[in-house]
Amino acid sequence: MTPLIHIIPILRDNYCFVLEGEQGKSIIIDPGEVLPVKSYISQYALTPVLILNTHHHPDHVAGNAELKAKYDIPIMGPKKEMQQILHLSSGLSEGDTVYQAGVKLAVMETPGHTKGHISFYCEAASALFCGDTLFSMGCGRLMGGTADELFESLQRIKSMPTDTKIFCAHEYTLDNGIFALHVEPTNTDIVNRLNEVRKLRTNNLPSIPVLLESELKTNPFLRETNADRFAQLRFQKDKF
Ligand SMILES: [Zn+2]
């Protein structure tokens, strides 16, 4: 079935996603904080059945233990980061399928930001939960993986259907857009997207999800076709 996707702003600029499937049963992705997730779930009378993690960073997993205990549910995350993520019930690898609450998610390994980073693709919703791999008009920093790995991960995302909705885990769009415009000063698609994002943020609305189609026109990291130039671009952004 096609889940209803809830976006919960947590911490300073993170998003936790809750996928509501059959009868309110829900999958929680990247709970980096407990309170806003817990209160959202009770407000919408959802029944959590599973926690998923994209990677091991605290702003994605800090709520694991408490939510696992509160709802008595398992946690699944990247097999390659099982050492770093406490409380994981089982590990996920490329090609695995998560099927819970009538919601089917395909597991993709998307290393680069971290060595074992995974993403979840829900074909029914045309939705990709890519954690800190790809951001709107930007991408994750190298914090364990290599530029080549991140480049390959983005190339893979690039080849997905253009109507894929990108649910990235941070609200970094405005800052990313300013860098994107610095890289491509004559790109009017970036100008238009920046204007749209400024309006959304002024109204305190998330700038995501964003269509892959839009990212293909506005994201310099996704548009770069050469691995070495991609690495330079990543370095340039770190210094920006
Ligand atoms: Zn991270």
What is the distance in A from the centroid of ligand 1 to the CA of 238?
15
In this structure, the number of other CB atoms found within 10 A of the CB of residue 61 comes to 24
pLDDT in tens, 213-236: 999 999 999 999 999 999 999 999
The string of DSSP codes covering 139-162 is E---SSS-HHHHHHHHHHHHTS-T
Could you tell me the domains of the chain?
4-239 (3.60.15.10)
What is the distance in A from the centroid of ligand 1 to the CA of 186?
31
| Residues near ion ligand 1 (Cβ under 5 Å) | 57, 132
Quick one: pLDDT at residue 86? 87
For range 55-82, the mean pLDDT = 98
Q: Is the pLDDT of residue 143 over 90?
A: yes
In this prediction the pTM is 0.98
What is the distance in A from the centroid of ligand 1 to the CA of 113?
7
**Beta pairing partners, 109:** 118
pLDDT in tens, 157-213: 999 999 999 999 999 999 999 999 999 999 999 999 999 999 999 999 999 999 999
Please give the share of the chain, as a percent, with pLDDT higher than 70. Answer: 100
In eight-state DSSP terms, residue 81 is: G
Element (H, E) at 219: none
What is the distance in A from the centroid of ligand 1 to the CA of 57?
5
